[in-house]
Amino acid sequence: MNTILTIVSLTGTPTSDFDWVKAIIIALSIGLLAAFITAMSLKGQLTSVYKNDSAADYTKSGSFKLETKRDTFLYSKTEKEAKPQSNSNNG
Amino acid sequence: MADLQEYKCPCCGGAIEFNSTLQKLKCPFCDTEFEMDALKSFDEDIKDEGSDDYTWQSQAGEEWQEGETNGINSYSCKSCGGEIITDATTAATSCPYCGNPVVLKGQLSGVLKPDFVIPFKLDKEAAMEKMKNHLKGKKLLPKSFSSEQHIEEIKGIYVPYWLFDTDVDAKLRYKATKVTRWDDSKFNYKRTDYFSVSRAGKIAFEKVPVDGSSKMDDTLMESLEPFKFKEATSFNAAYLAGYMADKYDVTDVQSQERANERVKVATINAFTRTVEGYDSVDIEGTSLRLKNATAKYALYPVWILNTNWNGQKFVFAMNGQTGKFVGNLPCDKGLFWKYFFRTFAITSVIALVAQFVLNLVM
Within a domain: B181: yes
Q: Does pLDDT of A89 surpass 60?
A: no
∠ CA B328-B332-B336, nearest 5°, is: 105
Same domain, B106 and B196: no
Within a domain: B80: yes
Residues 6+ apart with CB under 8 A from A79: B189, B190, B191, B192
Question: What is the 8-class DSSP label of residue A83?
Answer: P
**pLDDT tens digit string along B8-56?**
777 777 788 888 888 888 888 888 888 877 665 545 544 444 454 444 4
Answer whether B347 sits within 8 Å of A31, measured CB to CB: yes
Given this model, what pLDDT does residue B248 score? 86
Model-level ipTM above the cut of 0.85: no
Same domain, B159 and B208: yes
CA-wise closest residue to B93 among B101, B81, B105: B101
Given this model, what pLDDT does residue A33 score? 97
Same domain, B222 and B324: yes
Given this model, what pLDDT does residue A9 score? 52
Query: For residue B135, what is the nearest residue in chain A, using CA coordinates?
Result: A46
Same domain, B217 and B281: yes
Q: What is the dihedral sign for C-alpha A33, A38, A39, A40?
A: positive
Chain B from 88 to 147: CB within 8 A of any A CB? 134, 137-141
Within a domain: B105: yes
Given this model, what pLDDT does residue B7 score? 73
Domain boundary among B113, B142, B170: B113
- Helix H or strand E encompassing A34: helix A20-44
The span from the CA of B163 to the CA of B168, in Å, is 16
Same domain, B193 and B239: yes
Within a domain: B47: yes
Q: What is chain A's length?
A: 91
Answer whether B347 sits within 8 Å of A35, measured CB to CB: yes
- Contacts A21 to B, Cβ<8 Å: none
pLDDT mean over A52-81: 95
Residues forming a β-bridge with B285: B173
Same domain, B207 and B299: yes
Answer whether B348 sits within 8 Å of A81, measured CB to CB: no
Same domain, B284 and B153: yes
Answer whether B274 sits within 8 Å of A66, measured CB to CB: yes
Same domain, B146 and B21: no
Residue bearing the bigger pLDDT, A16 or A40: A40
Given this model, what pLDDT does residue B57 score? 36
Within a domain: B119: no
DSSP H helical ranges for B71-119: none
Q: How many CB atoms are closer than 10 A to CB B354?
A: 14
Residues 6+ apart with CB under 8 A from B303: B122, B124, B127, B154, B155, B156, B157, B317, B318, B320
Same domain, B56 and B162: no
Given this model, what pLDDT does residue A77 score? 95
- Flag the least confident range among A22-31, A39-48, B190-199, B236-245: B236-245
Rounded mean pLDDT for each run of 10 residues along chain B, 362 residues in total: 63 81 86 76 48 41 50 74 74 75 70 87 91 90 81 86 94 96 95 96 96 91 94 89 86 91 96 96 94 92 90 91 94 95 97 93 84
Same domain, B100 and B235: no
What is the tally of structural domains in chain B?
3
Within a domain: B118: no
Within a domain: B142: yes
Same domain, B35 and B131: no
**pLDDT tens digit string along B127-182?**
989 988 998 999 999 988 887 767 778 889 999 999 999 999 999 999 999 999 99
Taking the Cβ of residue B344 and every Cβ of chain A, the question of whether any pair is shorter than 8 Å is answered with yes
In degrees and rounded to multiples of 5, residue A14 shows phi and psi of: -75, 140
What is the pTM assigned to this prediction?
0.76
- Helix H or strand E encompassing B99: none
Given this model, what pLDDT does residue B93 score? 80
CB B247 within 8 A of CB B93: no
- For chain A, report the end-to-end CA distance as a whole number of angstroms: 30
Same domain, B22 and B156: no
CA distance, residue A19 to nearest chain B CA (Å): 9
What is the residue range of B339's domain?
A: 335-362
DSSP string, B256-293: HHHHHHHHHHHHHHHHHTT--S-SEEEEEEEEEEEEEE
Taking CB atoms and an 8 Å cut-off, how many pairs form between chains A and B? Answer: 212
Within a domain: B53: yes
